[in-house]
Amino acid sequence: MPLKLSFHIIHLKNKHTFRIAHGTRTGVDTFIISLSDGQFTGLGEATPVPYYGFSANDLKTLLEQYQKAIEAYDLQDAESFWEFMNPMLSTNRFAQCALDIAAHDLVAKRKGLPLYKTWGLEFENIPLSNFTIGIDEIPVMIKRMKEVDFPIYKIKLGTPNDIEIIKELRKSTDAIFRVDANCAWTIKETIMNSAAFESLGVEFIEQPLPNDKIEEMKEAMKSVSLPLIADESCITETDIEKCFGKFDGVNIKLAKCGGLTPALRMIQQAKGLGLKTMVGCMTESSVGISAIAHLLPLLDYVDMDGSMLISNDPADGVVLNRGKAILPNRNGTGAELRVLL
């Protein structure tokens, strides 16, 4: 049965203005695709952000260019499909991600299984997700924490008063803190802030230095006792080995690496090097977040709160109960569009 590919560009609205070191946004366009064989339909998603130079329309234009090749492909397994499409899509990993997730979802639905079971995994011993608190006035950040009451918070930093922020937030909760500087610190700030955070319940520091300063992370590793996790320094598969010896772990983003297929390889490569494994999100809807959930049995940490940060989620899927992922009783990724788009 020939495949049919459909595209949907949806503007996701943030519940609150979201600020990180890279900038501030109130919403983002997401790119959702449907890949149907006439009986089953797989859903995929990628949410490009301006920082990486792609728009949702760019993703649509690229996939339209290869739509005939996609629809004519005899899809039996998602991994082979990814390899087939890689020469055509490697310049835009976001588009590649959306298509790859849809392929995995479709194949798993054909098998009548949740996606994680097609990989031989069991949904147990899974890490809790954090909830992300964007940069804001300290009373507002405290309010955001109390609104959701999570056991783990990721605190976005990159301000002149980062230590003060963590000290003040700590007064309001006993939850675990993870801090994410999004490339905003210097070596000196990394060492100073880490020393201050050790007694404040901070679990790890994510991407303290700019991604082009990866060699300087060796110095940071020598001087910082808290674990250091790569994000912007870990984009695609070739970056895992580059992060070894400069970070304690890696945060893999499906949209940045090209989907579930390369993410699975990156996780195994990282584990083989003794690096902690984490998967993060890009403020996707429940389509993208549900795909992340199936990787949980392989992870040490996860940041999959994206759908909780938006007010107009167009899909249903995995839900987080105080950080614990609960999958719907459906095959594939478990994501379904709420309305026919």
295-311 pLDDT per residue, tens: 999 999 999 999 999 99
Spatial CA neighbour of 174 closest among 155, 150, 143:
150
Query: Does the pLDDT of residue 341 top 60, yes or no?
Result: no
What is d(CA 266, CA 279) in angstroms, rounded to the nearest whole number? Answer: 10
Q: What pLDDT band is residue 19 in, cutting at 50, 70 and 90?
A: confident
Per DSSP, 151 falls in state: S
Collapsed DSSP state (helix, strand, coil) of residue 247: strand
Spatial CA neighbour of 279 closest among 266, 153, 269:
266
- Residue type present at position 282: M
What is d(CA 15, CA 134) in angstroms, rounded to the nearest whole number? Answer: 12
Spatial CA neighbour of 43 closest among 341, 337, 338:
337
Query: Does the pLDDT of residue 118 top 80, yes or no?
Result: yes
C-alpha distances in Å from residue 298, one per residue of 26, 123, 180, 253, 294: 32, 10, 22, 14, 9
275-285 pLDDT per residue, tens: 999 999 999 99
C-alpha distances in Å from residue 235, one per residue of 163, 192, 231, 320: 28, 27, 7, 26
Listed by start position, the domains of the chain span 4-112, 118-337
Q: Which CATH superfamily is domain 118-337 in?
A: Enolase-like C-terminal domain (3.20.20.120)
Collapsed DSSP state (helix, strand, coil) of residue 321: strand
What is d(CA 90, CA 62) in angstroms, rounded to the nearest whole number? Answer: 11
What is d(CA 97, CA 49) in angstroms, rounded to the nearest whole number? Answer: 14
What pTM was estimated for this model as a whole?
0.97
- What CATH topology corresponds to 4-112? Enolase-like; domain 1 (3.30.390)
Average pLDDT, the chain: 96
